[in-house]
């Protein structure tokens, strides 16, 4: 989970460590040969698992959100709700109906997001293609790619002490940049795609850099500025699609010409599966960000400024410049997310081309604890929920909007760790307790 | 509620506190090991010990912020349980924390009544609160304006608000946790006076500190704690050296051993410098000074007379309005901080936790906070963790930084070791000039000695050294020449053997010539 250099803080030796008294082995009650004092790996795992570390809290937050999601399903389903009216006559039947509803819905969700055993079976008997077996995973990865990118676009500034609400606007600008190059440039496929990616990152990056420069030069608060820039980007997109070079003359609604097939992101596995270059791009970027934060010189500056801008400035780090560049980098990543939407899945620019990836990126970043690989994990989870949600809607008839509610609840429970700790009675991590108490001698 | 308080105050209750065998463990670490101590009514009981000796843990146990693993607390002979500050206050025990617990934008009266607001029909009774502040502050000789806003008040007065706040809760025993750490010498003297006044009014005081002189000046009894244990008690008449030895467990040299200086050419030249502070007042008002190679220039002065702004302007952390700064003949006025640092200036900022260290970073990372992008620690793109860690191991040894690993977050070190990290970092570049602001503030005696020796060693290898300190003892011990700063100007430059009275007068803005 932790990819950073934060070892468990231990008290400094001058704070008076206990000098263990020379033991009196003849007084021990333990049987010789059996070291009861040495915990096994399994003991340690159990102890850590039930302690309030971030991994356990996140896991239980997801469990809790799924339980609440189940309750929402029961309330939302007319038949089951009616059955609850007879709870005191037929309690078992009521519970059974509820259980059937919820378990089928979540099973469908799993089938749509990870793997469907029926399809595997059918493929074994040659009744369907192998592509069908991988379709759920493909959908999950396709959905996850832009979310990972916009999640990183929130996580990086967070580490520098900035809250980037502008992922949505930056993604829109990226979609405009990538989409324009993809639609207009008539060049061989790899070159166009490379240029489109660069254009998306550049436009999104400039949109982010603007925020950073305003923050560094004038002290304008990045939250206000990014919210406003989100609106400007959205309405700019509406205007932009209507321009002659971009607008599709054959259609009346707000939609651009389609991106030619040569400029569409290549499919990774098979043309029948939607998973494309986007997820590869997202994982590469995540690896790059992880490296940057851990080993990169700029990452060092960014973290130093995030933790203590005064000390960073006093040691000669240019704080304003670091903040501006951080926002520029974040914008570029969100821009890549937007480009992935246009060239990976949508195929043309519309008013809703980037969906809600900018805002969902905030949730992904928070769920991923603003750490690069955490963001990847959270992005995959959200991608899976969305892919599964679509399947659930088709097969169980439960609205896809429930997925949005579950996503929101996961983040609420993650943001309220005390609640999760209380519900699941997690112990306080012993090392954390000691270091908190020792903050002052 | 509050009117009842007034009645109680008039009663002059007294309180006898006894701690028996208090033990507090954090994991394997025993912070308090079987500590017993008695505070008689109406005495000032000093709890003396180095940073990290366990003083604050003990007081947090007493105030209910921590629960002891064993041992009991007796008030007037009766064992009581203290589960939180509420219980402590009910038992007559109040605490003034090292870091004030005040709301900066509230008035004095509002802060005092916070938590016990006098209300009439759902409305706060401001008049009653103001009256209470006036009554209490007059009674104990702690003048306060109830309507002043906290953030406008100097630190010393804010501390007074904390004391008054505790007194209005009708406590008979006050715990003062390192109260002088944030105070100027004048404010310290005032506080010591206040403490005597409270004692004479029948209050008991537990005075936590590591400053020997203050203990000797004010305490009735002294208990020394080392490594979580009571190692002895002493009378205030005991010589300082004896107390210091008890505290650190060995004899400490309070004098800094050094040869007479052999100053060379001027390294730092400041002329006609004018600098504005955050409120746009002229904090530095035309300063000329010169620091030569191989000498220590000490700037003495009560804090807040422009020393901070002067040093920040030299370092490029604060713009100067007029005037110039030159380093070895090169004009560095208006240079960015990084350029100044890399031109050969070492800088120990006055507030290590705000300006000196990134507490969440490891010891190793903090040691290269200035040079992380230069060889061998890294380049423009990537860091070299191996080189950083190897260098850190060397520094830890050379500067005697007590730590468990160089990967440990620097915030988990004690104050003295944190300060050594900064000194180690700033001395690891080739230096022409070394500037140290309050180099030993909040640092234990052992570390003070070490840091002072390093500063003198830096002088002896030919660097120019500028030491700014509000501790006159420190300036006198280190400096070859002393510049006294008062209201943004250098009032005089005098040799270190100048009588302390003269220096004291200069610090108060009185020049001998003007006086005679």
Provide ipTM, 2 decimals: 0.78
Interchain contact B249–A (C-beta under 8 A): no
**pLDDT value at position B250?**
56
Domain count, chain A: 1
Asked if residue A251 belongs to a domain, the reply is yes
Query: Cβ of B498 under 8 Å from any chain A Cβ?
Result: no
Q: In terms of CA atoms, which chain B residue is nearest residue A434?
A: B26
Is the minimum CB–CB distance between B236 and chain A shorter than 8 Å? no
Whether B342 and B403 map to the same domain: the answer is yes
Whether pLDDT at B451 is above 90:
yes
Domain boundary pick from B221, B248, B275: B248
**pLDDT score, position B168:** 86
A152/A364 Cα distance (integer angstroms): 8
Residues B365 and B470 in one domain: yes
pLDDT digits (tens, 9 = 90+) for A225-252: 999 999 999 999 999 999 999 999 999 8
What 8-state DSSP symbol labels residue A342? I
CA distance B61 to chain A (A): 11
Q: Give the confidence band of B147 by pLDDT, cuts at 50, 70, 90.
A: confident
pLDDT value of position B120: 66
B359 lies in the same domain as B309: yes
Average pLDDT over residues B337-360: 93
Q: Compute the mean pLDDT over every residue in chain A, rounded to the nearest whole number.
A: 86
Q: By mean pLDDT, which of A50-54, A350-354, B106-110, B258-262 is the weakest? A: A50-54
The mean pLDDT of B228-250, rounded to a whole number, is: 78
pLDDT band with cut points at 50, 70 and 90 for residue A32: very low
Compute the count of residue pairs across chains A and B with CB atoms less than 8 Å apart. Answer: 157
Residues B341 and B429 in one domain: yes
Whether the pLDDT of residue B54 is over 60: the answer is: yes
Higher pLDDT among residues B134 and B512, named by residue: B134
CB spacing of B365 vs A14 below 8 angstroms? no
Chain B residue whose CA is closest to A4: B361
Mutate to test the interface with B, among A3, A4, A7, A16 (most CBs of B within 10 A): A16
Residue range(s) defining the domain that contains residue A251: 145-384
Neighbours of B57 (CB within 10 A): 27
- The per-residue pLDDT for A51 is 60
Give the residue on B whose Cα is nearest the Cα of A298: B381
CA atoms in the 13 A half-sphere facing the CB of B420: 27
Are B327 and B357 contained in the same domain? yes
Say if residues B237 and B176 touch (Cβ distance below 8 Å): no
Residue A41 domain-assigned (yes or no): no
Is residue B165 a part of any domain in this protein?
Answer: no
Report helix, strand or coil for B443. coil
Query: How much of chain A, in percent, has pLDDT values that exceed 90?
Result: 66
Positive or negative torsion for Cα A175, A177, A182, A183:
positive
Does A39 have pLDDT greater than 60? Answer: yes
Highest average pLDDT, of A50-64, A131-145, B7-21, B65-79, comes from: A131-145
Q: Is the pLDDT of residue A288 over 80?
A: yes
B259 assigned to some structural domain: no
Final residue before a domain boundary, out of B248, B276, B308:
B248
Residues B204 and B112 in one domain: no
Is residue A432 very low, low, confident or very high in pLDDT (cuts 50, 70, 90)? very low
Q: How far apart are CA A326 and CA A54, in angstroms?
A: 26
pLDDT at A438 over 60: no
The answer to whether the CB of A64 falls within 8 A of the CB of A413 is yes
Lowest mean pLDDT among A380-384, B312-316, B499-503: B499-503
Is A111 within the bounds of a domain? no
pLDDT of residue B100: 80
The reply to whether A323 falls in a domain is: yes
**Residue A156, pLDDT above cutoff 90:** yes
Q: Which of B183, B214, B248 is the last residue of a domain?
A: B248
Pairing assessment for the beta strands B221-226 and B204-209 based on DSSP bridges: unpaired
pLDDT at residue number A319:
95
Report how far apart the first and last C-alpha atoms of chain B are (Å, whole number).
Answer: 57
Contacts of A300 in chain B (CB under 8 A): 365, 372-373, 378, 383
Of these ranges, A39-53, A283-297, B90-104, the one predicted with the greatest mean pLDDT is: A283-297
pLDDT for A171 = 97
| pLDDT of amino acid B177 | 87
Structural domains of chain B, count = 3
Is residue A413 assigned to a domain?
Answer: no
Is B360 within 8 Å of A16 when comparing Cβ atoms? no
Q: Which pLDDT band, with edges at 50, 70 and 90, does B258 fall under?
A: confident
The pLDDT, as a whole number, for residue A334 is 97
CA distance A16 to chain B (A): 4
Chain A residues lying within 8 Å of B63, measured CB to CB? none
**Residue of chain B minimizing CA distance to A17:** B29
CB atoms near residue B10 (< 10 Å): 9
Number of neighbouring beta carbons within 10 Å of residue A153: 37
Q: Are residues B51 and B182 in the same domain?
A: yes
Q: Examine the pLDDT at B489 and tell me if it is beyond 70.
A: yes
Considering the domain architecture, whether residues B67 and B107 belong to the same structural domain is answered as no
In which domain, by residue range, is B82 found?
Answer: 12-92+170-248
Confidence of residue B248 (pLDDT cuts 50, 70, 90): low
Mutate to test the interface with B, among A14, A288, A296 (most CBs of B within 10 A): A14
Do B387 and B332 reside in the same domain of the chain? yes
Compare B302 and A57 and report the one with higher pLDDT.
A57
B84 part of a folded domain? yes
Judge whether A178 lies within some domain.
yes
Nearest to A340 by CA among A364, A362, A363, A358: A358
Please determine, for residue A200, whether its predicted confidence score (pLDDT) is greater than 90.
yes
Pairwise CB contact (< 8 Å): B29 & A13: no
Give the pLDDT mean for A137-157: 96
Q: What is the mean pLDDT of residues B51-78?
A: 85
Q: Mean pLDDT across the stretch B275-284?
A: 83
What pLDDT sits at residue A159?
94
Same-domain pairing of B209 and B141: no
Q: For residue B41, is it within any domain? A: yes
> Would you say residue B134 has pLDDT above 80?
yes
Q: Quick one: A41 exposed, middle or buried, by C-beta within 10 A (0-12, 13-18, 19+)?
A: exposed
B241 and B348 co-located in one domain: no
Q: Residue A373, SS3?
A: helix
- The alpha carbon of residue B5 and the mean position of all alpha carbons in its chain are separated, in whole angstroms, by 33
Longest Cα–Cα distance in chain A: 93
| Alpha-helical runs (H) found in A160-254 | 167-184, 189-218, 222-241
Residue A34, pLDDT score: 44
**Do B198 and B305 have their domain in common?**
no
């Amino acid at each position: 989970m932790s990819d950073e250099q934060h070892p468990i803080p231990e008290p400094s030796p001058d704070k008076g460590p206990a000098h263990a008294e020379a033991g009196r082995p003849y007084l021990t009650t333990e049987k010789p040969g059996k070291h009861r004092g040495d915990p096994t790996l399994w003991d340690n795992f159990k102890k850590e698992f039930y302690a309030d570390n971030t991994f356990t809290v996140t896991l239980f937050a997801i469990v809790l959100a799924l339980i609440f999601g189940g309750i929402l399903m029961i309330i939302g389903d007319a038949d089951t709700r009616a059955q609850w009216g007879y709870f005191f006559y037929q309690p078992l039947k009521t519970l059974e109906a509820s259980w059937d509803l919820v378990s089928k819905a979540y099973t469908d969700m799993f089938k749509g997001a990870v793997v469907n055993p029926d399809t595997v079976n059918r493929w074994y008997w040659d009744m369907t293609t192998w592509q069908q077996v991988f379709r759920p995973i493909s959908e999950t990865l396709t959905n996850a790619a832009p979310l990972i990118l916009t999640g990183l676009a929130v996580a990086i500034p967070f580490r520098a002490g900035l809250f980037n609400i502008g992922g949505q606007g930056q993604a829109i600008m990226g979609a405009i940049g990538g989409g324009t190059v993809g639609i207009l440039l008539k060049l061989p496929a790899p070159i166009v795609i490379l240029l489109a990616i660069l254009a998306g990152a550049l436009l999104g990056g400039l949109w982010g850099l603007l925020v950073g420069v305003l923050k560094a030069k004038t002290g304008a608060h990045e939250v206000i500025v990014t919210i406003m820039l989100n609106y400007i980007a959205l309405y700019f997109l509406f205007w932009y699609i209507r321009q002659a070079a971009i607008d599709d003359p054959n259609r009346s609604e707000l939609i651009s010409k389609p991106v030619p097939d040569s400029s569409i992101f290549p499919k990774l596995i098979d043309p029948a599966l939607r998973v494309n270059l986007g997820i590869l791009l997202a994982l590469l970027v995540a690896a790059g960000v992880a490296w940057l934060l851990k080993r990169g010189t700029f990452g060092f500056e960014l973290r130093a400024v995030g933790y203590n801008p005064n000390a960073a400035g006093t040691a000669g780090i240019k704080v304003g410049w670091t903040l501006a560049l951080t926002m520029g980098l974040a914008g570029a990543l969100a821009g890549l997310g937007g480009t992935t939407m246009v060239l990976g899945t949508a195929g043309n620019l519309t008013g809703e081309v980037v969906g809600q990836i900018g805002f969902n990126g905030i949730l992904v970043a928070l769920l991923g604890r603003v750490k690069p690989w955490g963001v990847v994990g959270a992005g995959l989870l959200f991608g899976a929920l969305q892919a599964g949600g679509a399947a659930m809607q088709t097969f169980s008839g439960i609205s896809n909007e429930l997925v949005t509610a579950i996503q929101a609840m996961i983040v609420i429970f993650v943001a309220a760790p005390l609640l999760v700790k209380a519900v699941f009675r997690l112990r306080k991590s012993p090392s954390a307790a000691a270091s908190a108490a020792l903050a002052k001698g | 509620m509050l009117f009842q308080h007034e009645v109680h105050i008039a009663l002059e209750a007294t309180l006898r506190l006894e701690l028996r065998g208090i033990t507090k463990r954090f994991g394997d670490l025993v912070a308090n090991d079987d500590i017993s101590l008695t505070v008689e009514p109406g005495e000032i009981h000093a709890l003396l010990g180095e940073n990290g000796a366990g003083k604050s843990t003990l007081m947090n146990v007493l105030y209910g912020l921590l629960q002891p693993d064993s041992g009991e607390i007796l008030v007037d002979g009766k064992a009581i349980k203290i589960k939180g500050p509420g219980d402590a206050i009910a038992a007559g025990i109040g605490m003034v924390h090292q870091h004030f617990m005040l709301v900066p934008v509230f008035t004095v009266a509002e802060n005092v009544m916070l938590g016990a607001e006098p209300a009439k029909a759902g409305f706060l009774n401001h008049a009653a609160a103001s009256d209470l502040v006036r009554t209490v502050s007059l009674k104990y000789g702690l003048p306060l304006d109830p309507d002043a806003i906290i953030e406008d008040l100097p630190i010393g007065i804010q501390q007074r608000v904390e004391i008054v706040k505790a007194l209005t809760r009708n406590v008979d025993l006050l715990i003062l946790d390192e109260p002088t750490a944030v105070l100027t010498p004048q404010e310290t003297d005032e506080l010591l006076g206040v403490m005597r006044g409270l004692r004479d009014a029948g209050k008991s005081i537990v005075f936590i500190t590591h400053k020997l002189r203050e203990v000797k000046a004010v305490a009735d009894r002294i208990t020394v704690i080392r490594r979580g244990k009571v190692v002895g008690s002493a009378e205030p008449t005991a010589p300082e050296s004896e107390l210091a030895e008890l505290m650190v467990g060995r004899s400490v040299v309070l004098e800094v051993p050094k040869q007479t200086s052999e100053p060379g050419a001027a390294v730092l030249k400041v002329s006609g410098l004018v600098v504005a502070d955050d409120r746009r007042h002229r904090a530095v008002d035309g300063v000329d000074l010169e620091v030569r190679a191989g000498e220590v220039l000490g700037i003495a002065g009560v804090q807040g007379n422009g020393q901070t702004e002067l040093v920040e302007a030299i370092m490029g952390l604060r713009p100067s309005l007029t005037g110039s700064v030159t380093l070895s003949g090169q004009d560095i006025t208006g240079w960015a901080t990084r350029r100044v640092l890399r031109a050969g200036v070492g800088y120990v900022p006055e507030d290590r936790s705000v300006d000196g260290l990134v507490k969440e970073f490891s010891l190793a990372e903090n040691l290269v906070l200035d040079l992380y992008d230069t060889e061998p620690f890294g380049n423009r793109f990537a860091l070299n963790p191996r080189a950083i860690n190897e260098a850190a191991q060397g520094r830890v040894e050379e500067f005697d930084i007590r730590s468990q690993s160089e990967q440990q977050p620097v915030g988990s070190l004690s104050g003295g070791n944190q300060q050594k990290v900064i000194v180690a970092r700033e001395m690891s570049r080739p230096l022409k000039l070394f500037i140290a602001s309050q180099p030993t503030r909040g640092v234990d005696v052992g570390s003070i000695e070490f840091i002072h020796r390093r500063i003198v060693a830096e002088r002896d290898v030919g660097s120019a050294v500028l030491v700014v300190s509000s501790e006159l003892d420190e300036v006198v011990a280190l400096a070859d020449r002393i510049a006294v700063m008062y209201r943004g100007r250098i009032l005089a430059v005098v040799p270190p053997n100048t009588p302390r009275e003269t220096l004291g007068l200069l610090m108060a803005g009185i020049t001998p010539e003007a006086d005679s």
